[in-house]
Structure 1
Amino acid sequence: MRINLSSVFVDDQEKALRFYTDVLGFEKKADVPLGEHRWLTVVSPEAPDGTQLVLEPDAHPAVKPYVAALAEDGIPATSFAVDDVRAEYARLRALGVTFTQEPTDMGPVVTAVLDDTCGNLIQIAQYR
């Protein structure tokens, strides 16, 4: 068994696509119109056939309070692995990304947390 899809709820799919591709560096994998919304996924350029991240519309009534509560409590919606958190932090800051947690050593991992501009906090993590 393998993880095929994971998702983050976003308040605007087009804005999310721009952020996740132009800023974070993912590549668009699927973009299928579904009425008002789209089946929209991105993948890591390092694993184009790997796990897809669904940029899921936050249209369900339960989603907005859930996402807001996570963000308010500082809880990331998901985590992305990077080779060097400090270098990625510097790269993303130069692109105007807002962080709620600067790079922090946490034993076997270094983490930082960013705001994806679509309602979520996202952790980046470097495992030693």
Structure 2
Amino acid sequence: MDLKLRQCFLAVDDHDKALYFYRDVLGLEVRNDVSFEGMRWLTVGSPLQPDVEIVLEPPGASPDASPADRELMARLLAKGMLRGVIFTTADCDALHERVREAGAEVLQEPMNQPYGVRDCAFRDPAGNLLRFMERSDDTAGA
């Protein structure tokens, strides 16, 4: 099969804060900024991966979501209970310092993992988990 990842979705409760974080702190490109029926979607991606995008959407944005479903999604987002994404980087420590200085909530300082990566973790302004990993032969077995 010829399959490739094209888009993944993260719920955000404040698109302006998300825009600042993903564009200005992480350095992702804004590919779309769309308003529709009182909602807003941002699409961002790495300049190094022009065919992969992260869609930042309102909690419970599905047209089939009931008001109760949307409220539940908003509460789960506020608790940081929704899934996130994992990025790779050439320098985990430098990225960690830049994101920490921007005021993001630190979940894990950079550390060598026994499975061969050095990684750190943050929450974005909406509470989504973001991990940043650096592959290195030096981290194996650390």
How many residue pairs align between the two structures? 124
Q: Relative contact order (C-alpha < 8 Å, sep 6+): which is higher? A: 1
Shift of 1:109: 0.9
**Of 75, 83, 95, which aligns to 2:90?**
83
Q: Report percent identity of matched pairs.
A: 33
Aligned to 1:67: 77
Where does 1:18-97 land on structure 2 (aligned, <5 Å)?
18-47=20-49, 49-59=50-60, 60-68=70-78, 71=80, 77-97=84-104
Shift of 1:40: 1.6
Q: Deviations over 1:38-70 (max 9, x none)?
A: 2320010222x221000011142342344355x
C-alpha contact (below 8 Å) 1:11/1:119 kept by paired residues: no
What's the TM-score, normalizing by structure 1?
A: 0.84
Helix, strand or coil: the match of 1:61? helix
Structure 2 residue runs without a partner (length 5+): 61-69, 137-142
RMSD: 2.0
Q: 1:104 to 1:46 in 2, by over 3 A?
A: same
Aligned to 2:65: none
Shift of 1:80: 1.0
Q: 1:68 to 1:32 in 2, by over 3 A?
A: closer
What's the TM-score, normalizing by structure 2?
A: 0.77
